[in-house]
Structure 1
Amino acid sequence: MDRRIAAEHRHIIALDLDGTVLDHDFLGAGDDYEGGRISVELGDAIRTLHEAGHEVIVSTGRSVDATLPIVERLRIRPEWVIAANGAVTLRRDPLAPRAYRREYVEAFDPTDALLKIRTRLVTARFAVELAEGGFLYTEPIPAGTLPSDQKQVPFEALLGVQASRVVVVSPDHLLEDFLSVVESLGLTHVSYAVGSTSWLDIAPDGVTKASALEVVAARLGIDRSRVFAAGDGRNDIEMLRWAGRSGDSVAMGQADPEVRAAARRVTGTVEEGGLFTALRDRFPDLIR
């Protein structure tokens, strides 16, 4: 049976990875757990939507190097992939390494932000993801979502470069204290999102998952009423609000209250298969 949809019914389906598609608390082992588990039914549902003609777009804070292996695990070949919280947008190109090229890269000089943060978070670890790829860091930072091309450097080497994002990790601070410090810094000309741990992602001003999706939606000619987005983190708030204004947005059940408030609706937790439930409810003709 042909399950391809008509062009006028095509949706953008924007999916965060960690905590949304990927379950990191799954007590498994082997290849299925590498980088987090993807449930069989969820993987099947995502492939069904992709093969039917919907534009499935992974939209993640991960680096490019840490994103494309998950796309491969999903066994889909999307036209667009958004990484680094919207600072890097990839487009499929069979001639490019790993079949994707950097279509849009937003870059900035992180000097002012880094110097300001260092005065308040003196024990923090700092890193810069370079616009052209690669990763400079002052001290080791938890791996898993970062580029494989890494180089340890003194703090001063992070200044004056062209960065797609800055990462600040402060394990000596409780999250509440970390949030208070970050809010007091008065950072300007950058966008930032604080994770569920003492982890700060800084991007060029105005750059978020939502800003990248807006560009892709215009390129695809898909109306905002036909957008679905799902996420669980503070870096998903803008994306959930953007999608929910005219379309549909779903927060995962384990998300913080401010993330849940940004979405049109809340589904189950990642452990409960919340994304599968949300996709089945939104696309019942394809997913059962």
Structure 2
Amino acid sequence: MKLVATDLDGTLVRSDGSVSDYTADVLARVEALGIPVVFVTGRPLRWAEEVFEHVGEHGLAVVSNGALVWDVARHRPQLERPIDPALGLEVCALLREAIPGSVFAVETLDGIGLESEFLERHPVPDGARRGPIAELFDRPALKLLARHEELSPQEFWDAAEAVVQRRLVITWSSATALLEISGPGVTKASTLELLCADLGIGSADVVAFGDMPNDLPMLAWAGTSYAMANAHHTVLAAAVRTAPANDEDGVARVLAGLLDL
């Protein structure tokens, strides 16, 4: 093991949003052995920052499903893989025509911009932009969000995939019909691969943890991967190994066992 890659929500972070003292201690001990712990999350930067204190001295995190590698120590982007506005607006038009009721938001380094009909389930930062998607998508975006209030997540994903046909990468990690859309070829796995290449680490030496469909590419790429016991059924079906649930500090317990901590 030369690197640990872990998702946050539903994986490392408990259901109440906390990182337990036990997990924080294990992560610190893993880092002390010279093994970087990289958070690989669908969270935008503004939410990922809440747990950056636990990434250790190396200070790197993959956020927005691979659209951004953030240098925590220097508080600046190390790599950006955004969506071109023209392509993003083309996809929005296709989705809106094929799936009436679709509404959109965009995430950039500056924050979130939302259409007026987009019902966000999390607190929206003060000063967030509101308006039609054509006005919001006026610059490259780290993530395009599509929401539907009547379809299930799987129904929305299947319908969107049929329309978009890999122009952009579509995934999801929410209990609601919220699609997370990234640039061409941008996944947690592809960006983690770039990060590891810079560090001289191959996939065989990476241990990864995840729980939702947006983690599937990363779990398939890593040499050793674990689905959490509380994971989505598609992740459990694809998994060879299972870790205890996030509320049982599953990531930390597996790492402690692997490294005999």
| Fold match (TM-score > 0.5) | yes
2:43 to 28, 39, 62: 62
Cα RMSD between the aligned structures? 2.1
Give unpaired runs (5+ residues) of structure 2.
none
- Structure 1: state its 5+ residue gaps: 1-9, 27-35, 94-98
* Partners of 1:105 and 1:166 in 2: CA distance: 14
**1:235 and 2:226 equivalent?**
no
Residues 1:14 and 2:5 aligned together: yes
Cα displacement (A) at 1:189 = 2.1
The aligned counterpart of 1:223 is 202
Q: Take 1:234 and 1:41, find their aligned partners in 2: how far apart are those partners?
A: 27
**Residue of structure 1 equivalent to 2:34:** 53
1:269 aligned onto 2:245: yes
Structure 2 vs 1, CA of residues 148 and 282 (structure 1 numbering), >3 Å: closer, same or farther? farther
Amino acid corresponding to residue 112 of structure 2 in structure 1 = F
Which residue identity is paired with 1:121?
Answer: I
Deviation at 1:148, TM superposition (A): 6.8
Q: Mean alpha-carbon deviation: is it higher for 40-49 or for 169-178?
A: 169-178
Matched-pair identity in %: 27
The corresponding residue for 1:83 is 63
Structure 1's 83 and 40: CA in aligned 2 closer, same or farther, altered over 3 A?
same
- Give 1:210's match in structure 2, choosing from 179, 185, 189: 189
> What letter is aligned with 1:276?
A
Inter-CA distance 140–165: structure 2 relative to 1 (3 Å threshold): same
Question: 1:40-71 CA distances to partner (integer Å, 9 max, x unpaired)?
Answer: 21111111111221111011011111112211
Q: Are the equivalent residues in 2 in contact too, given 1:82–1:209 (CA < 8 A)?
A: yes
**Aligned residues of 2:106 and 2:137 also touching (Cα < 8 A):** no
Give 1:228 deviation, angstroms: 0.7
Q: Distance in 2 between matches of 1:159 and 1:67?
A: 23
1:7 aligns with none
Runs of 4+ residues over 4 Å off in structure 1: 146-149
2:30 is aligned with what amino acid? L
Shift of 1:191: 0.8
Q: Find out whether 1:107 has 2:87 as its counterpart.
A: no
Give the stretch that moved more between structures: 56-65 or 260-269.
260-269
Q: Which has the higher contact order (CA 8 A, sep 6+)?
A: 2
- Cα distance in 2 for partners of 1:92, 1:83 equals 11
- Alignment match, 1:116: 94
Preserved contact between residue 111 and residue 160 of structure 1 (Cα < 8 Å): no
Report which stretch shifted further, 231-240 or 10-19.
10-19
